[in-house]
């Protein structure tokens, strides 16, 4: 499966549902959808299966521009939270230590 974007405008918010795999090849499609959407924009990542380095960087950039990212799976959340330096380990979860 490649990438499928579904844009839904409702009650003053635009939701973009990102389904499949976000790779460097599909970034143009994502940026086009974001540029044509009315703000505020919410990116729903609940059906995003994976993202390559370019896809992760793009999502981080969009979040940095103020877009809300919702519904990310634990795997995608780890990708987004991992330190941007090559070879760096993901951030450790915070909370009570396991026994």
CATH number (domain holding residue 74):
3.30.750.24
- Regarding pTM above 0.85, the answer is no
Phi (first) and psi of residue 13, to 5 degrees: -125, 140
**Any domain includes 86:** no
- What would the pLDDT profile of 48-96 be if each residue is shown by its tens digit? 999 999 999 999 999 999 999 999 999 999 999 976 544 444 444 445 5
Instruction: Provide the domain limits for residue 27.
Output: 3-81
Q: How many domains does the chain have?
A: 1
CA distance 92 to 54: 23
**Any domain includes 96:** no
**Any domain includes 98:** no
**Any domain includes 47:** yes
| Whether residue 6 has pLDDT greater than 80 | yes
Task: Specify the pLDDT at position 87.
Answer: 44
Task: Specify the pLDDT at position 89.
Answer: 40
Average pLDDT over residues 6-30: 95
Task: Specify the pLDDT at position 1.
Answer: 64
**Any domain includes 63:** yes
């Amino acid at each position: 499966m490649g990438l499928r974007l579904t844009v839904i405008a409702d009650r003053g918010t635009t939701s973009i549902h990102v389904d499949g795999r976000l790779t460097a090849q599909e970034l143009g499609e994502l940026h086009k959808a974001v540029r044509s959407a009315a703000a505020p924009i919410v990116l729903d990542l609940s059906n995003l299966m994976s993202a390559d380095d370019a896809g992760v960087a793009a999502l981080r950039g969009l979040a940095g521009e103020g877009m809300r990212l919702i519904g990310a799976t634990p795997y995608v959340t780890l990708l987004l939270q991992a330190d941007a330096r090559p070879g760096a380990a993901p951030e450790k979860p915070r909370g009570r230590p396991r026994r």
